[in-house]
Structure 1
Amino acid sequence: MTLVSLTNTQAVAADSASPNRQQVFGDLTIHYNAFASGLLQPAIATEYDLTRSKGQGVINITAVKGGKTVPARIDGTVADLTGRQKVLDFRPIAENGSVNYLAQFAVEPDTSATYVFTINVNAKGEQPHTLSFTQQIFSDE
């Protein structure tokens, strides 16, 4: 099972921005998903050097143009509802001819909490775009 298929099928989350977990900017579509890293199978976590823990979340960002992923510079922040904010450190993951960008962040263990994400995407050949969304992460899995 690939990381992309895992995050698309097993992540349990409530999303206020888009039920499809995507935002469209002209011909560029940004797909996003955040989830508790405990949902990852151990082999997947090891393969992608991700910490599998009830206290860690993962965010996955993909920029798509013309049906294909495109390279991008991704940065952003995550904040809890108390306003505590953390800078996200994205890294590219190339897989099967596509590229995804992953970052990990701390979550409250053994509970569900809502997080506010602000993501800046600068895809090659495109204007920079910013997307913001809230997502509830269930870390008791």
Structure 2
Amino acid sequence: MNRLLKHLTCLLFSAMALPALAAERIDADRQQRFGDVTVHYSTFSSTFLQPQLARQLQLIRSKQQGVINLTVLKQGQPQAAQVSGSLKSLTGDSLPLNFRVIRETGAIYYVAQYPVPQQQTRIFDLKVETGGVTHRFSFNQELFPDP
């Protein structure tokens, strides 16, 4: 009986810890620093894009589509990079993020879309390679489809 109680207690604490792990602190500045390289990132619903801009960028506007946008700066200047990553559920399901490069005067953006079929917490695992050096980071984000 005592052994069963220990197992149940362990299971209960594990179940209670899962939401805490999922709610890992998101960097308020939405950036990661790696020496003189800074990666800024944001996630948002694709419906926040104006229709004309979405068409121009070849992005799908949908209540069930999200967008992740990254910029890579080296000493404050836009930096070319190889950006890749995946979107994972808390159960371990993984979906690759296919980043596209968008170049504008004085800026370089790396953009990928992902599905948001329902409210859920997802883990973004990202890899940014620039100047022959690979930087990795991840963050959790609670996602909501637009109503």
Which range, TM-score by smaller chain? 0.7 to 0.9
**Among residues 19, 25, 29, which one is paired with 2:34 in the alignment?**
25
Matches of 2:104 and 2:126, distance apart in 1: 22
Give the AA of the match of 2:37.
Answer: L
Q: Which residues in structure 2 correspond to 1:1-141 (within 5 Å)?
A: 16-109=25-118, 112-123=119-130, 125-140=131-146
**Shift in Å, 1:15:** 8.0
Indicate the SS of the match to 1:38. helix
Matches of 2:102 and 2:25, distance apart in 1: 26
Indicate the SS of the match to 1:61. strand
Matches of 1:62 and 1:21, distance apart in 2: 11
The corresponding residue for 1:9 is: none
**Shift in Å, 1:26:** 0.5
Unaligned regions of 5+ residues in structure 1, if any?
Answer: 1-13
Q: Say how many residue pairs are matched.
A: 125
Indicate the SS of the match to 1:44. helix
Higher strand share: 1
Higher helix share: 2
Give the AA of the match of 1:137.
Answer: L
CA RMSD of aligned residues (A): 1.7
Unaligned regions of 5+ residues in structure 2, if any?
Answer: 1-22
Matches of 1:15 and 1:69, distance apart in 2: 29
Indicate the SS of the match to 1:128. strand
**Shift in Å, 1:27:** 0.7
